Amino acid sequence: MLTKELTYKKAFEIKNNGLKQKNAKRDFLLKSLYAENKRLAEIDNEMSSIGAQLALTALSGNSEKIALLNKRSKVLSAEKSAILKRAGIGDTAYDCSLCQDTGYVGGKICDCVKKIAAKVILEDLNRQMPLDECTFEKFDLNYYSKDGENARKRMTSILKLCKEYVNGFNPEKAENLLFMGSPGLGKTHLTLAIVSGVVEKGFMAFYGPAENLFNLVSTERFSGENKGSYEAMLDCDLLVIDDLGTELSTEFSKSVFYNLINSRLLSKKPTVINTNLTMKEIADRYGERIASRLIGNFNANKFLGVDIRQQKFLQENRGI
């Protein structure tokens, strides 16, 4: 389970290790070159003596001498660069010219670290879900032609909605989405594509089947494990609750669900929910209070079609 803090800690570790390795390699090459070429140490000595003289001369205000010293300094540094270049040692090549691999620009976290953080989150998610299989490109609308044009039309517009959701994603403005419909119609597929897209844009998304999410909160509350999970679910830029309704229904899970939804609505943070339940079943299971929150604040979309897993099974086994 990755909290924002942990994700960024890892991202900075990766960034810093990269820089360290680069510097270590360059330092090693430099050291052996200095051992071979005595001229380098001479240049360094003369340059530091010029530096000291410059400081003194600046106080006296002798501009002619300052110009001379600067000129000599330039000649020396050109000579040094040429020696290094001949030995194949360039300046440190930073991965990111914006922050020179420090990870910060003007006191803010640089985009390059955000990209690494996204990779950290996606790798973590990939261990749980087949993220690479669940992209918008791999969402095949051909599976929705079986029961007339209706399903295909509906799913075409839902696919469009999801793509636009990612393209224009802004955690302060994004709407809440509720995907409903029978199992096997691609709800998880599309929400995972949303998660990847949003994370790749540098936002923190938290995804999990309802059962896992509620269990995380429960273990945090009762055994002290998974510290920070609940806060991460409340604070993330996008919370995705998959498979709502398949979890064991307890008073605790109901209250976690209600509090998550209510708190995120109050702080105007977007949530995406997938469920096989109808609105009436949601009301029966979680109560009218939560059903009315969902009706009033979520853009509900019903998935149509014929179970894709069944279609694939039939295709694969046809003729056997």
Interaction site with Zn ion (CB under 5 A):
96, 98-99, 110, 112
Nearer to Zn ion, 99 or 194 (CB): 99
Residue 54 CA to its chain's centroid (Å): 49
* Residue spans of alpha helices (H) in the chain: 4-36, 38-60, 63-86, 111-128, 149-167, 187-200, 210-223, 229-235, 251-266, 279-286, 288-297, 308-317
Q: Return all residues near 157 (Cβ < 8 A) that are at least 6 apart.
A: none
Residue carrying structure tokens 């800690």: 9
Residue number, 116 or 125, with CB nearest to Zn ion:
116
Q: How far is the CB of 70 from Zn ion (least distance, A)?
A: 32
Instruction: Indicate the residue among 101 and 237 with the shorter CB distance to Zn ion.
Output: 101
Residue 131 Cβ vs Zn ion, minimum distance, rounded to whole Å = 25
Residue 106 CB, nearest distance to Zn ion (Å)? 11
**Nearest distance from residue 18's CB to Zn ion, in Å?**
11
Do 116 and 15 form a contact (C-beta atoms < 8 A)? yes
User: b/e string for 174-189 if b means 16 or more Cβ within 10 A?
Assistant: bebbbbbbeebbbbbb
* Distances, alpha carbon 126 to alpha carbons 130, 192, 211, in Å: 6, 10, 18
Q: CB of residue 116 vs Zn ion: minimum separation in angstroms?
A: 9
Which CB atom, from 18 or from 245, has the smaller least distance to Zn ion? 18
Shorter beta-carbon distance to Zn ion: residue 11 or 217: 11
User: Rounded distance, CA 182 to CA 274, Å?
Assistant: 10
- Which residues on adjacent β-strands are paired with residue 15? none
Residue 285: CB minimum distance to Zn ion, A = 47
**Measured from the CB atom, is 18 or 287 closer to Zn ion?**
18
